Amino acid sequence: MRQIAPRGNRAPSPSPPPGPSSPAAGPLADAVAGIAAIAPVVVAALPIGLVFGALAGQAGLGAGAATGMSAVVFAGASQFVALEQWADPLPVASILLATLLVNLRHVAMGAALAPRLGHWPVAARPAALLFMTDEVWAIALARAAVKPLTPAFYAGLAGALWLAWVGSTAAGHVAGALVADPARWGLDLAITAVFIALLRGAWRGPRDLAPWAASAVAAVAVDRAGAPAMAVAAGIVAGLAVVAARILRGGEG
């Protein structure tokens, strides 16, 4: 059977216009998706940053120092812990120890996130860990569960929250008299609501109950015992102990 050769003068088919899934549009679309994913957290973080800026001003930090702390440290809980101990002379060793204990959870968080960054450029991985907060970490892991976690998506996540945190700190320092009393803003409820939402997004099923419950009980017990700086570390250790015991028995973590 004779085959018909294609005509040599046939015009090539026009290339489709670049769309959202094209390589050129991919990073921008991922960054926008990251911003959209973190937007509810940004809304909750704004009043907290305002109060931090106001309290920093009351503690004697200048606008540059307060804003610089938020820009470089970028860890709300440990910043408030440091602020509680701010005095003259500055108890450097005490502040370093307290913030270290509060941020020990980042060791476990970084270990969980690191495998999702294996396809990233080597130089970008330390930056991801530097800008890792509880909220960024949780949303990044949720994203990685359904599709590869890209640097652009992560940049949208962390960048939007970082800008909101630094900007609200500066604004709070300027308008310190207006937000002098954190209780007026219901921040305890706002912070709790944010973390409940993060837990809901990380929920995998009933098998999560045991480590979560162990973490909660240990953290509350240590806090009530008069060592609030150790509460986070105690919760991490308790939760990891339950997971380790389950793995040793031959089950999944």
What does the pLDDT profile of the chain (253 residues) look like in tens digits? 444 444 444 444 444 444 444 444 588 999 999 999 999 889 888 888 888 888 888 888 899 999 999 999 998 878 887 887 787 788 888 788 878 877 877 888 898 899 999 899 998 999 999 999 988 998 999 999 899 999 999 999 999 999 999 999 999 888 876 655 655 666 656 566 666 666 665 666 777 778 878 888 888 888 888 877 677 677 777 877 887 787 777 755 5
3-state DSSP of the chain: CCCCCCCCCCCCCCCCCCCCCCCCCHHHHHHHHHHHHHHHHHHHHHHHHHHHHHHHHHCCCCHHHHHHHHHHCCCHHHHHHHHHCCCCCCCHHHHHHHHHHHCCHHHHHHHHHHHHHCCCCCCHHHHHHHCCCHHHHHHHHHHHCCCCCCHHHHHHHHHHHHHHHHHHHHHHHHCHHHHCCHHHHCHHHHHHHHHHHHHHHHCCCHHHHHHHHHHHHHHHHHHHCCCHHHHHHHHHHHHHHHHHHHHHCCCCC
pLDDT of 189 reads: 64
- Please report, for residues 12, 24, 25, 32, the alpha-carbon distance to residue 17 in angstroms, rounded to integers and kept in the order given: 15, 11, 11, 20
CB 50, CB 168: distance < 8 Å: yes
Long-range contacts of 53-56 (CB under 8 A, 24+ apart): 53/168, 53/169, 53/170, 53/171, 53/172, 53/173, 53/174, 53/176, 54/172, 54/173, 54/175, 54/176, 54/177, 54/178, 54/179, 54/180, 55/80, 55/83, 55/176, 55/182, 56/83, 56/169, 56/172, 56/173
Q: Tell me the one-letter amino acid at 166.
A: V
Give the total residue count for the chain: 253
Q: What is the pTM of this model?
A: 0.69
Using an 8 Å Cβ cutoff, are 55 and 177 in contact? no
